[in-house]
Each structure stands twice: as structure tokens, then as C-alpha cells.
Structure 1
């Protein structure tokens, strides 16, 4: 079966499904990136979050890792005020944690070469416990200090999304020009056609480690690019 056609059908099915996120739609600051990727035949997005500040309440598993079924006391994709956190903490009955999570984007890619276009790196988060068994363990002054940091990270995160979007635009433009030149060469030179087919075969091979593409600079953003393998 033609992998490109199979990828196209899989993409259409995925994008036609209802948005199952809590918000039910793509975050405003992530819309441009998501729409650009989904407009390309070699990519489609499966989930995203533009970045958020949230307050979770739930016991840990003993190693400090939050259990899956915890209570969301507060979540915002905008700068957060201390009064909002203090009001939300009144509902804490267990171990409440204040978190900042940067832009997260999961992308399915048609080939290995397409996946190499995206970088994967994340160093911009924040996670601080505030209560234990429902008891507040820090001062309001410290919470205000944490929110100053979290809000600064939110603003920086927004700037990084903008830079990533600009880099992505340039990357897909280069790829479009490169593909156009390759097709012209293939049309005029049968030997070039056979060579490109061999190179495409290497790009489909997950064991290929030679990096012939350019990565986008996505410092502080979590961009997960998964390779489409299809059904054999």
C-alpha cells in the first residue's frame, strides 16, 4: 500500500475526530502553529497545549510522582493572580502542587526525514508543592513569589512559540523549494529519480541515523515528533 496515501487517510481520520481536551479546542496561542503543520501533507498534530499554570490536588505514589486521577483546582493559559490561587487552595484536601507547563505539541510525521525537521527539547517548567494533607505549607508571600516566576515563564513561553512559528515557516518553505527542485531533476534525469528513490527508502528506515535535515530551534518547548510507520 502507498505509504503517502495511507498517511493521508490516517491524517484525515485523526483531524475529523472531536477534540477531547478539557478546553475542547486548540489554545489561542497555539492555533497558528497547529494550522501551519496541519496544512502540510507531511504532518498532522494529535494534541497540543499553548502553556498553562495549574493547581492540582492529589496524593503522590510515594516517589513524588503525581497520580493520574487528581483534582484540578485551577487552570489558566493566562497570567495568574495570587487571590485566584488562594481561593482555589480552599478546596485542597491532599497534596496541592502549583505547576507551570510550557507549550506542548505532539506531531505525527510521514517519514523519518520529515520528523527530523522538528526538535524535541523542554527545560522551561515549574512544579512546587503547596499543601500536605490539605494543610498549607508555605506563606502567601512565597506563593506570590512563585506566581511572579510562573507568569514570567508564561510570557517567555509565548515569545518562544512565536519564534518557533517563524522558524517553522522558514523550514517548510525551504522544504517546499527543495522538493520542487528535486521533482524537476527527476523529470529531466532518470538517474536522479533512481537515486532519490534509494534515499526515500533510507528515510523510511527507522534505523537510519544519518541526519540530512535541519532541526528547528525549540528551546523550552516540548515538540514531540512521531514517525508514521503504517501497517505492513
Structure 2
């Protein structure tokens, strides 16, 4: 007979699989409509694993936003996007885009961000360690009421500088060129961190696969587990075997339960 904990993990695993299938079948509703080129490898690697799936991502970008005319500030949902690029940016592009500014234009660099739903808290902790080691030190784990475990991969090396007010440019072209030098440097560092994250993720998944294989071999060769499995087969074959006799054959329930718990993931 299956242990209650095993049945619970099976139910959670099946629910996670449904969530993953539903999420990956949805259309990409981002402005671009597809995964950014520099994030594709990471996204595909995570989605190829049964314990993860991605819900949103951005590889990093330089933005020029024009705030709301009513003075409510720059919020991406309620402003004009004058310029968006996932590549290094030059001054001429920004100056041309600023011609369309009518309010408070802001130059921003937003680093790589990735949201991943994880099968278990332990899976999320593994991925969190990878993120921290790769330089994404603002990453964090949240657990929802329905048991959804999410990991956000984030860093703090962003940039946000106002350039105009009420449509009037408040800085010099020389200063804009200086800002773009910084933004482009951050973009290059961001790309290096993504590559480091991908490499660390590969190694972590390889170690996890090897560890799981060793655990399965250990359980298979564990005399306690072998006797327990044999006893279960005998009980299924002959239900008349008394329960106290089973305990005697096993050598005590406490030892058998301990062996099973040592193999659990949660």
C-alpha cells in the first residue's frame, strides 16, 4: 500500500503538470510576442525539466519612456514607449526618440528578470542558489495560498534617469551620451550574468540528476527497503498474513518508516 505522503506528492505532481501544460500552451502576451534572444537558452532549459516552467521573462533592455501628461509619473502601463532595445544603444537613437516626448521622458535600463514556477520548495531553493551564485542577488521565493511556489530571478543593477520635463530637454547631449555608456556597460554585464546563470543551471541539473540516480540505486539496494517491498508483495499475495507477524519479519515498523522518509524530496 502506498504511504499517504507518497500519494500527496503524486497529487501535487499531477497538479503541477497541469499548471505547466496550461501555462506553456498560452499565447505570449508580451509587447514583443516572443522570448528575447538572450533568454531563449535559459527558458528552454528550464521548461525541459519536469520540476520547472517559466511564466515570464525579459533578457534586459534600454527604454525611453514618456510619462503621463497629468503629472502622475512614469508608469509603463500608462505612458508612451519612445524607444525599446535589447541591444546596446547609441545617442542618435535616443535624440531622435526624444522628439516625440511631450511630458517627462525617462531613460531606463532594466536587467534580466525571470519568473519560474517550481514543483516543490526544494526545487525553488536549488534554483535560488543558482541565481544568487550567478549574480542575481535580488532573487526571491514566494509561496501562494494554492501551494504555487514561484521564484523570481532579479538583480539590482538597473538605471533610471529623467531627461525632460513637460517636453523640454533638461540635460545636454553630452550627458545623454555618458548615460548611454553606463547603460550599455550594464547591458554587457547583464548578458554575462545570464550566461553564467545558464552554465550554473546546467551543472546544478546534472548534479541533481546524478543524485537522484544514486538515491534510486541506494533505495533499491537498501535491505530495509527490500524487506519492506518483499513484505508488501507477500501481503498482496496472501492477505491472511497477520499484521504482528509482518512487524516481526520486518524487524520493527520504526526502522521501515525511517528508511522511507529518508528518500523523500520534501
TM-score, with structure 1 as normaliser: 0.80
Structure with the larger RCO, 1 or 2 (CA within 8 Å, 6+ apart): 1
**Map of 1:58-69 to 2, 5 A cutoff?**
58-59=67-68, 66=75, 68-69=77-78
SS in 1 for 2:96: helix
Shift of 1:122: 1.2
1:154 to 187, 200, 205: 187
Shift of 1:5: 1.3
Structure 2 equivalent of residue 20 of structure 1: 29
Shift of 1:105: 0.5
1:171 to 175, 182, 204: 204
Q: CA RMSD in A?
A: 2.0
Shift of 1:124: 1.1
Q: Does the CA contact (< 8 Å) of 1:96 and 1:132 recur in 2? A: yes
Larger radius of gyration: 2
Alpha-carbon distance in structure 2 between the residues aligned to 1:74 and 1:139:
19
The one-character-per-residue Cα deviations of 1:25-71 (angstroms, maximum 9, x if unpaired) are: 11111011000000000000000011100101114998966363111
TM-score, with structure 2 as normaliser: 0.71
Structure 2 equivalent of residue 76 of structure 1: 85
Cα pair distance change 1:101/1:60, threshold 3 Å: farther
Shift of 1:9: 1.3
Shift of 1:187: 2.5
Cα pair distance change 1:123/1:61, threshold 3 Å: farther
Structure 1 equivalent of residue 178 of structure 2: 145
Structure 2 equivalent of residue 109 of structure 1: 118
Shift of 1:186: 2.3
Alpha-carbon distance in structure 2 between the residues aligned to 1:134 and 1:193:
70
The one-character-per-residue Cα deviations of 1:119-155 (angstroms, maximum 9, x if unpaired) are: 3151211110111111111111100000011011111
Shift of 1:118: 2.2
The one-character-per-residue Cα deviations of 1:67-123 (angstroms, maximum 9, x if unpaired) are: 631111100000101111011111111111100011111000000000001231512
Cα pair distance change 1:91/1:61, threshold 3 Å: closer
The one-character-per-residue Cα deviations of 1:199-224 (angstroms, maximum 9, x if unpaired) are: 43xx3xxxxxxxxxxxxxxxxxxxxx
Structure 2 equivalent of residue 9 of structure 1: 18
Structure 2 equivalent of residue 126 of structure 1: 159
Shift of 1:20: 0.7
Structure 1 equivalent of residue 233 of structure 2: none
Alpha-carbon distance in structure 2 between the residues aligned to 1:61 and 1:94:
9
Structure 2 residues not aligned, in runs of 5+: 1-7, 129-138, 140-153, 226-255
Cα pair distance change 1:184/1:60, threshold 3 Å: farther
Cα pair distance change 1:165/1:128, threshold 3 Å: same
Alpha-carbon distance in structure 2 between the residues aligned to 1:196 and 1:147:
54
Alpha-carbon distance in structure 1 between the residues aligned to 2:66 and 2:72:
16
Q: Does the CA contact (< 8 Å) of 2:103 and 2:164 recur in 1? A: yes
Structure 2 equivalent of residue 213 of structure 1: none
**Map of 1:29-108 to 2, 5 A cutoff?**
29-59=38-68, 66=75, 68-108=77-117
Q: Which has the higher helix share?
A: 2
Q: Does the CA contact (< 8 Å) of 2:67 and 2:74 recur in 1? A: no
